[in-house]
Chain A
Amino acid sequence: EAGVAQSPRYKIIEKRQSVAFWCNPISGHATLYWYQQILGQGPKLLIQFQNNGVVDDSQLPKDRFSAERLKGVDSTLKIQPAKLEDSAVYLCASSLPGGNTEAFFGQGTRLTVV
């Protein structure tokens, strides 16, 4: 079974530039998550999708971050413009619906903003 695919693995950009991350979840997983993991901290949920609808985006900085999941499969997360404090690993995860199911994580995209 293929896992959660993310690209790129690494990205270095200058502040005020824009960047986009891509995620392809496990086939059949209706729930998709984007997390931000700052060095030394646990993951922080940015946005949760159920199919192509947003379930929770309360912690997404909407002035600069956006995410979409067209057709309820792949998803993209965009940052525009980036700030130094956005340097982090961005993790995508997917799961079957419901709380008693395992979330499977991709390897993440390490973003460095200089």
Chain B
Amino acid sequence: AQSVTQPDINITVSEGASLELRCNYSYGATPYLFWYVQSPGQGLQLLLKYFSGDTLVQGIKGFEAEFKRSQSSFNLRKPSVHWSDAAEYFCAVGLLDSNYQLIWGAGTKLIIKP
């Protein structure tokens, strides 16, 4: 069955430090890949997406993600985090053969230390 795994429930980083959030998926084909961010009391906002082409994609707010087919991964990175990045981050996979249904990871909560 298709699944998305975000192995880290919580991650704490210092402001100004670099960040990497992990996402692995299980799917028989190359899926559409997404990262969304959810701030407290807010809806989900798209950070970036991968459909095809260059495996390194740039998103909003200085985030980027790299698709690695051999590892079935789509990790999210940011070189220097800001306190405003504190939020929950969700990786999602779009299934091309199932009406593009999104399968979501459980999320990673990012905590920023001052």
Residues of A participating in the B interface, judged by any CB pair closer than 8 Å: 3-4, 40-45, 48, 55-56, 91, 93, 98-100, 102-103, 105-108
Contact = CB atoms under 8 A, between A and B. Distances in A.
B17 interface: no
Given A40-B106, A43-B44, A107-B43, A99 B49 contact: no
Interface in B75-114: 90, 92, 94, 96, 98-102, 104-107
A4 to B, nearest CB: 7
Interface residues of B, number: 24
A105 B45 contact: yes
A86 to B, nearest CB: 19
B32 interface: yes
Contact of B104 (A42, A48, A56): A42
Nearest to A33: B102
Given A42-B90, A42-B106, A106 B43 contact: yes
B107 A41 contact: yes
Contacts of A100: 32, 49, 51
B28 interface: no
B70 interface: no
B43 A108 contact: yes
Given A48-B99, A99-B94, A105 B106 contact: no
8 tightest Cβ-Cβ pairs between the two chains A and B: A99-B100, A42-B104, A105-B43, A105-B44, A107-B43, A100-B51, A99-B94, A102-B46
A102 B96 contact: no
Nearest to B95: A99
Nearest to A50: B99
Given A91-B43, A102-B49, A105-B43, A44 B104 contact: yes
A80 B41 CA distance: 26
Given A40-B106, A42-B105, A48-B99, A99 B43 contact: no
B42 interface: yes
Contacts of A105: 36, 43-45
